Amino acid sequence: MSVLLTGGSGFIGLPLTKELVSKGNHVIVLDPQPNLTILQRLGEGVKVVQGDVTHYEEVLQVMREYQVKDVFHLAAILSTACEENPSLCFRVNVEGTVNVLEASRAVGVRKFIFPSSIATYGPGVATPVNGEARQEPLTFYGATKVFCELWGLQYYRKFGIDFRSVRLPSIIGPGRLDGGASVYASLMIEKPAIGDKYTVYVDEETSIPLLYIKDVTKLLVSLFEALQVRTRIFNVGGITPKAVEIAEKVKQYVEGAEIIFKPNPSVVAMVRKWPQADSSKIESELGWRVSYNLDLLVRDFVQDVRSCRNPAG
C-alpha cells in the first residue's frame, strides 16, 4: 500500500516526501519534472513516476499499479503563472484535481489531503479570517482553489473519501523559485545566505502572513495522521514580520548581508490585501502550532542554505 504525492517534486512536495518516507510510508511521487537527484537519495521508500494529472488514465494506472491508499494532491499551477496562463491553470488545477479525485474514487482511496490557499479570499474580508468567511477571490488561482475545495467536499459527502484540506498562507523556505509576489520573503534570506545582494520589491513596512516550510510539512503530516477530523477545511495563519524586520534578522545571522529596498507600488498594493488567517480550529483540533518564529526561522533557513552549498560543513 502506498501514498501518492502528485506534484511531489515541488517546493512543498520534496520535504514532505522526505518526511513521509522517514515515517515508514511507501511514497509514489507523480510529477512531470521529477527531481531525480534529490528523490533517488531517499532510497527504496520512494517510487518516482514521470506523469501528469491532466491525463486521467495515467493517474488511474499509477494508483492501481502501486495500490495507492492515500493521496496528497499538491500538483498545481501557482498564482502568478495562473494569471499569465488561465487555460493551463484551469487544466492542471481544475481538470487535474477532478481526475485525481475520480481515480481516487475508482480505487477506493481513504484519505485525500489537499493544500488550498488563503488566496481563496478576496479583498475586504475581516481579519484574522476564519473558515466561515465568504470566499470571493479576484484571481484565477484563487477561483480554482475554491472549486477544488467544493469538489473535494462533495467526494467526501457522496463517496466517503476522507477529504482534508488547509488554506495555507505564503510558504517561505530555501528553494522557492516561483515568481509569486510573496517570494521576496524567501529570497531576502536565501540570497544573502549565499553571498548575493538582494533588492526587495516591497517597502520596509510590508507584512504578509508567512509560514516556514518545516511548519508546513509538520502540519500536512499531522492532518494526514489524525485519526479523524471534525473540520474538513482549516484556515492557517502565519507569522507577520515587516520586511524591515526580516532584513534586520538576516543581518544578525549573515555578516555583511546586502539588502536594499526598491518598492514596486503595484506589488505592494496587491500583497497588502492578503489576510492573516485564524488558526484556532486547527490548533484546537490537531494541536498544531506555528513553531518557527522569525528568529528561529531565519537562523534555520540560513543554516540549511549554507549546509546544502557546503555539505561537508
**Under the rule (CB under 6 A), what is the footprint of ligand NAD?**
6-7, 9-13, 30-33, 52-54, 74-76, 78, 92, 96, 115, 117, 168, 170-171, 178
How far apart are CB 256 and ligand NAD at their closest, in Å?
A: 29
Local structure of 131: helix, strand or coil: coil
How far apart are CB 165 and ligand NAD at their closest, in Å?
A: 10
Q: Which is nearer to ligand NAD, 193 or 210 (CB)?
A: 210
How far apart are CB 19 and ligand NAD at their closest, in Å?
A: 14
Q: Which is nearer to ligand NAD, 13 or 192 (CB)?
A: 13
Give Dmax (Cα) for the chain: 58
How far apart are CB 274 and ligand NAD at their closest, in Å?
A: 11
Q: Which residue is nearest to ligand NAD (CB)?
A: 10
> Alpha helix (H) ranges present in 237-293?
243-253, 265-271, 280-286
Q: Which is nearer to ligand NAD, 33 or 310 (CB)?
A: 33
175 DSSP 8-state letter: T
Query: Where do the DSSP E strands lie in the chain?
Result: 2-6, 27-31, 46-50, 68-73, 111-117, 162-168, 170-172, 198-200, 210-212, 233-235, 259-261
How far apart are CB 187 and ligand NAD at their closest, in Å?
A: 13
CB within 8 A of 250, min separation 6: which ones? 188, 189, 192, 193, 257, 259, 298, 302
Q: Which is nearer to ligand NAD, 180 or 192 (CB)?
A: 180
Q: Which is nearer to ligand NAD, 6 or 235 (CB)?
A: 6
Q: Which is nearer to ligand NAD, 78 or 98 (CB)?
A: 78
Please give the grid coordinates belonging to residue 274. Answer: 492578503
Of 15, 169, 150, 140, which is closest to residue 76 (Cα–Cα)? 140
d(CA 240, CA 175): 21
How far apart are CB 215 and ligand NAD at their closest, in Å?
A: 12
